[in-house]
Amino acid sequence: MKIRNVSRTESAFTLTEMMVTAAIAVVLLAGTLTGHLVGLQMAQVTATKVGGNDDARAAISKLTQDIRMAKLVKVGTGNASSFTACGANSPQSGNSIQVYPTTSTNTWIRYFKHTDNRLHRMPNGAASSLVLANFITNNAVFSAEDFNGNTLNNNENNRVIGLTMQFYQIQYPVIMIGTNEVYDFYQVRTKVTRRTLE
């Protein structure tokens, strides 16, 4: 009987080599899965930011266009059926503005934060309002301000209309804002003035 010499290249893996190989494979797989899960979480955060910006951008775009072309803008309180402008010697801020595209006060466009926490746009004669933004928490959405950002007490001609929307939830995708959530606070603030001041 002849005994054959088995070279090292023909021998099988030892138990130690197999365990090291399996450990390296598990570490690589865990790293790949962790990277994938972190990527999914970052995609969710990014989608949340984009969704919030879409809501705010739609509201600001239409509002800016209407105010810039307006002949008169009044700040006050209102809803779909009524509007009351802020009185003289009182802070010019409220949940609503009424924009008059012409010198006629019979033609207007009203923006208001309704009790449903949504920003609505409604031209006179319309059967219903259009929702521009959702989940707004602050009541005084609109204000008439001077060039320094101070809220005015009178209806001045050369004022700036301020828009502030604070959100408690972003729509796309629906993400809650608050303690132990994705965001503690989300706010959009802009200022717009008419193109022609008389």
Tens of pLDDT along the chain (198 residues) come to 666 665 555 667 788 999 999 999 999 999 999 999 999 888 877 776 666 566 677 778 889 999 999 999 999 999 999 999 999 899 999 999 999 999 898 999 999 999 998 899 999 989 899 988 888 889 999 999 988 889 999 877 788 999 998 877 665 556 666 666 666 567 888 899 888 765
Pairing between β-strand 160-167 and β-strand 93-94 as defined by DSSP bridges: unpaired
Residue 119 has which token pair? 């920003």
Cα end-to-end span (Å), the chain: 116
117 backbone φψ class: left, alpha, beta (φ>0; ψ -120 to 50):
left
Q: 169 is written with which tokens?
A: 């939830």
What distance separates the 2 farthest-apart alpha carbons in the chain?
118
pLDDT for position 3? 64
How far apart CA 121 and CA 123 sit, in angstroms, is 7
pLDDT of residue 195: 82
- Give the pLDDT score at 198: 59
H-only helix segments in the chain: 15-68
> What is d(CA 78, CA 111) in angstroms, rounded to the nearest whole number?
8
Q: Tokens representing 198?
A: 């008389």
Confidence (pLDDT) at 91: 93
Residues 160, 68 contacting (CB under 8 angstroms): no
- 20: left (phi > 0), else alpha (psi -120 to 50), else beta? alpha
**pLDDT at site 53:** 63
Task: Name residues whose C-beta falls within 8 Å of residue 48's C-beta, 6 or more positions apart in sequence.
Answer: 170, 172, 173, 175, 182, 183
SS3 assignment, position 168:
coil
Q: Is this prediction's pTM over 0.75?
A: no
Answer whether 66's CB lies under 8 Å from 101's CB: yes
Q: Report cis status (omega within 30 of 0) of the bond before 101.
A: no
Residues 6+ apart with CB under 8 A from 100: 70, 71, 72, 73, 74, 107, 108
The Cα 23–Cα 94 span in angstroms is 64
